[in-house]
Copies of this chain bind each other. A is one copy, B any other.
């Protein structure tokens, strides 16, 4: 393929080790060799989400989006109420997915670039009994970082029966997330962001309460995303035994094994901290050195895996950087789609000192600084 520097908010640049683990021969999905790899991936998924021993990891062929279907079709019945805390495009798409399966969705919507105020979460939960609340940890469309810990505290206090679902697609591996300690019921992510693997896997974790909910409810309104089908399969692989429902993508699982091992060898907390340092450095360069404005309204509410920057000529900048071999992303939020750019800095790009990709990106942006202010 190409030798461009990849700085979009996923797929991210994969490490050499991960790339080698990907480019391997196919092996049998029911072989003891694959069962051992899958068992390790499940255990390491639990560690990377900081889940407890009773939490159930789930690795499926699919994209991050599939995790929404898992939640919408297994943890809510048609007609049940879900509270969606919306911080952008991805929160709204999750809401649309819930509605497709028949959930009744209420939204609390943040202002552009802001998080949903805790008082509004509290008020909504006091007024209505919700089966589920969804939090988009990082909305990749704006780079807004929600305070999952504080929201969980509010839910536990006001409505402890409500299931807490966290979209961690752009957060697991680069933001603080404590599945067990914060009492999360389902956290979903994808392989191609801060988990540092290629795209193609839905990677998620269920609490004991969510597993019970999925196994005891009436037949789910889906098949490929059915937890009644997948939980026994995952439990078997977790114990090192092969089990079949649908063929797992063996090479992608092998690549995820390599990337999770890299993350845990580095140290999960150290890895998250390194993403924060990298993000702070880049955001400071953008605001202080280039005098540009971020889409997020405060440093505290800004994600550490990407930076969304207002510019007056996004298409021109993206094209110019592409010419010099640097690939960044355009806007995605409908209200400001053509007014900003997004730079991703997750995984190897943030953590491998040998990769000076973000520095190169900053230098390239600097060259255009004169005409960039939106």
A-side residues, CB < 8 A to B, are 1-4, 6, 8, 10-14, 19-20, 22-31, 33, 37, 61-66, 68-69, 72-73, 96-97, 100-102, 190, 192, 198-200, 219-226, 245-252, 254, 327, 329
Contacts and interface: CB of A to CB of B under 8 A. Distances in A.
Nearest to A32: B322
Contacts of A73: 222
Copies in the complex: 2
Contacts of A6: 25-28
Contacts of A64: 246-247
Given A11-B28, A63-B246, 5 more contacts: A2-B27, A4-B27, A22-B22, A61-B66, A97-B224
B11 A329 contact: no
A100 B220 contact: yes
Contacts of A190: 247
A200 B19 contact: no
A225 to B, nearest CB: 7
A89 to B, nearest CB: 10
A1 B31 CA distance: 11
B1 A248 contact: no
B31 A24 contact: no
Contacts of A224: 62-63, 65-66, 68-69, 97, 225
Contacts of A226: 100
A197 B73 CA distance: 30
Given A65-B223, A65-B224, A247 B26 contact: no
A13 B1 contact: no
Contacts of A3: 25
Contacts of A8: 28, 30
